[in-house]
Structure 1
Amino acid sequence: MSGISITLQALYAGERRMERELLAVAERHRADHEVHHVAVDVARWSHDHVERIAATAQHHGLHLPDPAEDPPPDPRAQEPEHAEPGPDLLHDLRLLHLAANENSLNWETLAQTARAARDDELLDLATGCHPQTVRQMLWTNSLIKTLSPQLLGSKAGMPDPDRSWAALPPPVPPGEP
């Protein structure tokens, strides 16, 4: 299997996961209207990316399932029993940000490979989808910056000491994007 096929598969899986996670976050935090509505809107971008990736993959001899054949699960089935709006929202936003970052790296890899191979179809795919993935990252980062002091700086937003925060990725050092 070629590196292009591997990258297309990684993008397909990553954008599918992003769509599902965005819809799950939208459902879990439906009381926060900005989070709910923006998450639903940007999940459509990931859905569109998946469709474009699948179509392009066909031209490269790779069959990826049609997204319509594999609909996202009901996000309510993933809802935690005792959701804490502050810490749970921040946790979800961090995970979304990391997933978007991974997709962004894969888009960049595909774009560089397409340039080197002079493959206009792959380059059009990457340059058409990557900016929306970057906007997903900017949205999550902006919310994390805005909500962290509000949610974690007040007693109401403090995490439950019994909850395992060890599963969270380490924070990004100051000064790094």
Structure 2
Amino acid sequence: MNNRASWDEGTTKTLLDLCIAQKNQLNWSDKCLTKLGWRNVYSGFRAQTGLQLGSKQLQNKLNNLRRAFLGWLALQNKSSLGRDTQTGGVSADATYWEQDQQDSQTRSQSSSVKPPPFLDELFELFGHEPQDRGTLMTAGGIREATPSMGTEGNAADLEQDPPASSARAMSKRP
């Protein structure tokens, strides 16, 4: 019996769209869906596709897409490499590929250069800087981060000495 999932463009797009919807609903941790997000994706995927794929198969597919995207993105950001505007792939001189071939015999040039499918969706899920955490959820709701230093909107002058504490004021009494 073969337990391998057969992924076509439609089912892959459905999985990515469901994951993006969960990320937009804040059911996303640093790198992937939360437990609640995965539960929603599992049930939504079964409802939309009618396929009875296991949770591990969905997770493995998303992880494989993430690895392909991050590998392609790393090549885009590597110095001395460029982007071929006609193919969307990575362009480099022959000496780079010779070194790359020596570094990794298992990876072929064509698979490491070619952009992964569903690039826009993958950018939406995984294409942020690690420091970019977006808006923050606080006790008062969702809002932009509050600056920790004085700004134009913050009237406190950081150059002034802080006001005397009540303990210091009490100790100076006669």
Give the TM-score normalised by structure 2.
Answer: 0.27
Q: Higher strand share goes to which structure?
A: 2
Between structure 1 and structure 2, the one with the greater Rg is 2
Instruction: For CA contacts below 8 A with separation 6 or more, give which structure has more relative contact order.
Output: 1
